[in-house]
Chain A
Amino acid sequence: MARALIHVPATAKKGDIVEIKTLISHVMETGYRIGVTGQPIPRDIIDDFVCTYNGEEVFHAKLYPAIAANPYITFFTVATESGTLAFSWTDQHGATQVQTAAITVE
């Protein structure tokens, strides 16, 4: 689907607060704009973003047309155990893109 950039620290100490950064390529067309032909440009947005940490949901966001193109979402979580962070973006048509990143907790 789209190109995404994820930044998760490769290693962390147990109990550390770690910053997660995600960036995904998407037009985030609001549906309120008019094209050159005078026709409205149909709305096309990502409307849901979830991050799970070893299966447990740690961050969830609902996106609306006011979010700019190429949504950049950054948040913090507590490093509890080694494992996988899974990120999933779902657009308004229901298509989902999932990407994962590993983290080692010492």
Chain B
Amino acid sequence: MRGAVLRAAGLRMRAPSPERGEGWGEGAPTERPEPPRSEWNASGCRRSSGALKRTPSLQRGEGWGEGVPTERPEPPHPALSPLGRGRRKHYPAAAVFIISTLLVRGTLAADIPLDQRRSDSDFISGDTRAMQNDDTANPAMLVVLDGETLWNTKAGETNQSCADCHGDAAKSMKGVAARYPAFAAELGRPVDLEQQINLSRVTDQKAEALAFESKELLALTAYIARQSRGMPVAVKDDAVSKPFIDAGRTIFERRQGQLDLSCAQCHDDNWGKKLAGNLVPQAMSTGYPIYRLEWQEVGSLQRRLRNCMSGMRAEPYDFGAPELVDLEYFLMWRARGMAMESPAVRP
């Protein structure tokens, strides 16, 4: 009974099974057949078809859980079910749980309606919000000033600064951060603002790329993002970009990690409720890079996403991984039209 409730709540931990080639870091991804929809999945998982279409990546330490084939006459292997073994035995208890969840929450499985979207600043304390909105109190402004210095610093073989081509950032960079991630034709895929800065450095300035989360890259990003404060998020969602946004959505809605949670379960379905004493925000990524009080420094959206993945006991994607950029793209598309707040302050 308890196990079923934990599973239904997505809180059941699972270990990888070497017999099925699952592991936390090694092994190549294998193709698996798509599991069927069961009555449980149809009601218990949000967006059941989407949730079931995924293929676990062994490189990222994902798996379907340690299912044992019990009481199921037909293939496929229960290991393919995100809910693991012994479902039927606990069906009544699970049904009660799901029904009660539905009664409390209303309908599951939908994007947050556009008019119900709220900035993540609405979910932080008034003190923290005041710190963010006061440029003399927002500690990220120190980093923005560093970025301004770097903007005017000559670099690379060309011995040119950002300002030599782009001029005054207050004019040339206004609204730019609100349009990233964006499709980069030369790479055939989207890049986020950090990667675009590095692209410019390498191709135009003939300088070395800055490391992810390095002070310099964060400073330049924060300085550029600051120029878009208050402007609406306006990432492109044309035919070229759509597949990448959709890929980001798939990651957002896919259950992952030992806790078997998806981003959407917290940030679409349960925003406004508490997680360990903190309000769960809607994850509208309008304020990055952020100064996070917990970090005591500025960090990127990718760092924050990796942070959440560790929290779900999933192995995070590496910095700069295409999956992270797709996820960033989806998040910005999800926040389309909302005002930029960079650099925000978060607890």
Contact = CB atoms under 8 A, between A and B. Distances in A.
Nearest to B134: A21
B146 A70 contact: no
Contacts of A27: 296
Most chain-B Cβ atoms within 10 A of its Cβ — which of A6, A23, A24, A72?
A: A23
Contacts of A21: 134, 136-137
Given A23-B139, A23-B142, 4 more contacts: A3-B142, A23-B136, A24-B142, A70-B139
Interface in A51-85: 68-70, 72, 74
Interface of B: 131, 134-137, 139, 141-142, 145-146, 293, 296-297
A76 B50 CA distance: 57
Contacts, number: 35
A10 interface: no
A20 to B, nearest CB: 10
A25 interface: yes
Contact of A69 (B135, B137, B141, B297): B297
A3 B296 contact: no
Contact of A72 (B135, B139, B297): B139
Contacts of B136: 5-7, 21, 23
A69 B296 contact: yes
B142 A25 contact: yes
Q: Can you list the 10 inter-chain pairs with the closest CB atoms, starting with the nearest?
A: A69-B296, A7-B136, A70-B139, A25-B142, A21-B136, A3-B142, A5-B136, A3-B145, A68-B296, A72-B137
A70 B137 contact: no
A70 B293 contact: no
Contact of B141 (A5, A28, A68, A74): A5
Nearest to B293: A68
Nearest to A20: B136
B39 to A, nearest CB: 49
Nearest to B142: A25
Contacts of A24: 142
B33 to A, nearest CB: 42
Contacts of A6: 136
28 contacts: A3-B142, A5-B135, A5-B136, A5-B141, A5-B142, A5-B145, A6-B136, A7-B136, A21-B134, A21-B136, A21-B137, A23-B136, A23-B137, A23-B142, A24-B142, A25-B139, A25-B142, A27-B296, A28-B296, A68-B296, A69-B139, A69-B296, A70-B139, A70-B296, A72-B131, A72-B137, A72-B139, A74-B137
Contacts of B145: 3, 5
A89 to B, nearest CB: 13
